[in-house]
Amino acid sequence: MIKGKQSLSFTQAPFLISSGCVVGSKEAKGPLGKHVDMFNTDDLFGEKTWEAAESTMQKEACVIALGKAHVETEEVRYLFGGDLLRQGIATSMGVETLQIPMFGLYGACSTSGEALALASMAVAAGYGSNLLAVTSSHFGSAEKEFRFPLGYANQRPLSAQWTVTGSGAFLVGTAKSHVRVAGVTVGKIVDYGLKDSQNMGACMAPAATDTIVQNFIDFGRGPEDYDRIITGDLGKIGRTILWDLAEKKGYQLKEKHLDCGLLIYDHEKQDTHAGGSGCGCAAVTLSAYILPKLAKGEWKRVLFVPTGALLSTVSFNEGESVPGIAHGIVLEHC
Q: Which is nearer to a second copy, 97 or 252 (CB)?
A: 97
Stretch of residues binding a second copy (CB under 8 A), selected from 86-94, 165-173, 199-207, 219-227? 86-94
Q: Which of 16, 32, 105, 284 binds a second copy (CB under 8 A)?
A: 105
**Cβ neighbours of residue 142 closer than 8 Å, sequence gap 6 or more:** 84, 85, 163, 278
Q: How far is the CB of 320 from a second copy (least distance, A)?
A: 6
Please provide the DSSP assignment of 56-68 as one string: HHHHHHHHHHHHH
x/- track of binding to a second copy for residues 258-297 (CB under 8 A): ----------------------------------------
Q: Are 279 and 111 in contact (CB under 8 A)?
A: yes
CA 24 – CA 167 distance, rounded (Å):
9
Q: Are 308 and 324 in contact (CB under 8 A)?
A: yes
CA 154 – CA 279 distance, rounded (Å):
22
Q: Which of 27, 51, 227, 233 binds a second copy (CB under 8 A)?
A: 51
CA 165 – CA 151 distance, rounded (Å):
17
Q: How far is the CB of 292 from a second copy (least distance, A)?
A: 28
Check residue 85 for interaction with a second copy (CB under 8 A). Answer: yes
Stretch of residues binding a second copy (CB under 8 A), selected from 148-156, 169-177, 274-282, 319-327? 319-327
Check residue 128 for interaction with a second copy (CB under 8 A). Answer: yes
Please provide the DSSP assignment of 74-115 as one string: GG--EEEEEESSGGGHHHHHHHGGGT--EEEE-BTBTHHHHH
Q: What is the DSSP letter of 289?
A: I
Check residue 231 for interaction with a second copy (CB under 8 A). Answer: no
Q: Which residues bind a second copy (CB under 8 A)?
A: 1-2, 6, 8, 49, 51-52, 77-78, 82, 84-89, 92-93, 95-96, 99-108, 114, 117-118, 121-122, 124-128, 144-145, 186-189, 191, 310-315, 318, 320, 323, 325
